[in-house]
């Protein structure tokens, strides 16, 4: 499969996904209004980041660079993400489909981190991007066994 085929598939899937209200960004609220490092801040940043990616997927004007994608990597990614969502959001089919759609796009088409580069998680340093390379300071402290989805993220574990 290549990136154009994947984005076409994601766009078709997006037509049938109901987006739960809790994943839409809150109108008029900036993540800056939340205290960096709090779960509210992280949640709001994720909500906005994922929704912007969703809008890119559904926008036919979004430019996609052609690249080959390993079908086995996509299948493994979907299995790992499915297990993660089953553990942390059981019985939330709409949310699971939405997160899968956005995550596939970010990892394999847009080649951007699976979470916003600016997010600051509790007890961590802030993720950053330097010269178009993304760094995740949480990733270097988390083993791949705990969050195996991280191995598909383009963010590096340290500077």
pTM: 0.84
| pLDDT of 122 | 45
pLDDT digits (tens, 9 = 90+) for 136-157: 766 666 655 556 777 778 776 6
What is the tens place of the pLDDT at every residue in 90-108?
999 999 999 999 999 999 9
The confidence band for 23, taking pLDDT boundaries of 50, 70 and 90, is: confident
* Per-residue pLDDT at 55 exceeds 70: yes
Q: Positive or negative CA dihedral for 71, 146, 82, 67?
A: negative
* Euclidean distance between CA atoms 21 and 157, whole angstroms: 32
Rounded CA separation 35/49 (Å): 17
């Amino acid at each position: 499969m290549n990136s154009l085929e994947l984005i076409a598939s994601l766009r078709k899937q997006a037509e049938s996904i109901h987006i739960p209200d809790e994943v839409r960004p809150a109108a008029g609220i900036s993540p800056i209004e939340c205290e960096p490092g709090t779960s509210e801040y992280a949640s709001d940043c994720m909500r906005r980041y994922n929704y912007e990616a969703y809008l890119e997927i559904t926008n036919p004007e979004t430019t996609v660079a052609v690249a080959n994608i390993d079908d086995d990597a996509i299948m493994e990614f979907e299995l790992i993400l499915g297990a993660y969502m089953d553990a942390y959001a059981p019985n939330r089919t709409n949310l699971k489909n939405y997160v899968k759609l956005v995550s596939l796009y970010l990892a394999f088409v847009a080649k951007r981190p699976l979470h916003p580069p600016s997010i600051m998680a509790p007890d961590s340093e802030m993720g950053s991007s330097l010269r178009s390379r993304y760094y995740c300071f949480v990733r270097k402290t988390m083993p791949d066994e705990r969050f195996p989805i991280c191995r598909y993220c383009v963010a590096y574990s340290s500077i």
